[in-house]
Amino acid sequence: MIASRWGCCCTFYHHPAVIFTNAVSSVAACNAPVAMVILGVLLGNISPKRMFLSKEAWLVGGVRLLLIPLLTVLLLKAFPGVPGEMRAALIIAAAAPVGSNLAVYVQRQGGDSPGCRRDGVPFHHLVHYHHAPGPAGFLTWAENRRGAIEMSEKMAIEQRVEREITARMEELDQKLVAEKLERYRRLNQFAQLGKVLFVGSSLMEQFPINELLLDMGRTYTVYNRGIGGYTTQQLAKSLDVCVYELQPSQVLINIGTNDMNTQEYTVEGLMERYEAILRDIQAHVPGVKLTLLAYYPLCEPKLAEDPHGREILKSRNNRIIAQANQAVQALAKKVGAGFLNCNSAITDESGNMRPEYTIEGMHMYGDGYAQVLKALLPWLDEAAASSGSRQSATGARFPHGTEGGAPIQ
């Protein structure tokens, strides 16, 4: 701006100052691109709605873009000797201020302090040291700039580490599931056919059914093939190990809560996958009786104490679970299966799982499962009494050419 004024004065007094022409031209060529970059960076973090509804913005814009150019025109009329080119240049300069001025004004008013780039680095660390000109100001700016770069690099490293940890955890989960399936596959070789079978995810896997049955004076056999973290898609791919090899007479199934942990969850999609599992079991185990167990409620206040729990509650909560239970009950009727809701003893008056029974708001301690089993026991006694039609003569199968531990002759 100083250079343009100086050039105008020189031209007015017929001293073109040729010595400055090339330097000023080079600087002028950079002015518009640099101004647009700075202006774009600043506007990128301003809400359009807030910008266009601001009375102050309209007032300042009107004064700067209308009133000041008008005053400039009136002032130039008082000096008729000003050349036409100079007159035009001054009017344009008054009506179209340099874009970088916006950054200067904003910084002087402290308006950019809360504004940050999307990577979290404050703008004032990147674009200015106007507050304290001179060597001291430059050193302050340089220190802020270095800190901003370090902050950005630290955030990038943290994000990369988080991705690596997530990938590693998924890899370990897949390995753990594969190990559990292999254990079940080998264990199935010794199982009695035609028994009662529990199938599902961690809420079924952690059910200490046989220990609790012994404590309640029951001696019949119940198999549990639950796998922690399982979804309907995963169970559908492992029905041979979890169900078919056992040829059960009765299946109590509770699957689908982990499906609710994603933003893509819909109850319609869950029921479609659930029905496919039930139809496959009916096709591969003729005469099997299926019973669908209602999903357990969450203890939402306890789950909300943990950041991971709060994330789960965004897509899986008691309202969604209640809706899913209604759909499961309708599905049971559709496929000719039974439906059991054993949640009354573990649910408080607000619809949450009682806090004394839950570990973290989602899974249960043994005494919580004991309450579920008390409600389940009449069905289980009847199911166990009607089972056994598929047992072998000895009541068990022994693999690899052995029976009762002795080689077959």
- CB 372, CB 346: distance < 8 Å: yes
Nearest CA to 350 out of 300, 310, 303 is that of 300
pTM: 0.59
pLDDT at 276: 97
Mean pLDDT of the chain: 80
Residues 6+ apart with CB under 8 A from 36: 99
- Cα angle 99, 100, 106 (rounded to 5 degrees) comes to 105
pLDDT of residue 409 exceeding 50: no
The two most distant CA atoms of the chain are separated, in Å, by 126
Nearest CA to 194 out of 249, 276, 113, 241 is that of 249
Q: Give dist(CA 168, CA 162) in Å, integer.
A: 10
For the chain, how many helices (H) and strands (E)? 18, 7
Give the mean pLDDT of 81-105.
Answer: 70
pLDDT at 104: 56
Residues of the chain above pLDDT 90, percent: 47
* Locus of tokens 């046989």: 210
Give the mean pLDDT of 32-36.
Answer: 71
Alpha helices in 13-134 (DSSP H): 21-43, 48-52, 55-62, 68-77, 84-95, 100-108, 124-127
Helix, strand, coil percentages (3-state) for the chain, rounded to 5, are 60, 10, 30
Could you give phi then psi for residue 290, rounded to 5 degrees?
-105, 140
H/E stretch holding 369 reads helix 366-386
Q: Give dist(CA 256, CA 270) in Å, integer.
A: 7
Give the mean pLDDT of 345-371.
Answer: 96
Residues 6+ apart with CB under 8 A from 252: 196, 197, 198, 199, 291, 293, 340, 376, 383
CB neighbour burial string for 44-58, b if at least 16 within 10 angstroms, e if fewer: eeeeeeeeeeeeeee
* Complete DSSP assignment for 219-268: ---EEE---TT--HHHHHHTHHHHTGGG--SEEEEE--TGGGGSTT--HH
Q: Give dist(CA 294, CA 388) in Å, integer.
A: 26
Could you give phi then psi for residue 248, rounded to 5 degrees?
-70, 155
Residues 6+ apart with CB under 8 A from 89: 4, 8
Query: Could you report the per-residue pLDDT of 243-252, keeping only the tens digit for each?
Result: 999 999 999 9
Of 156 and 36, more confident: 156
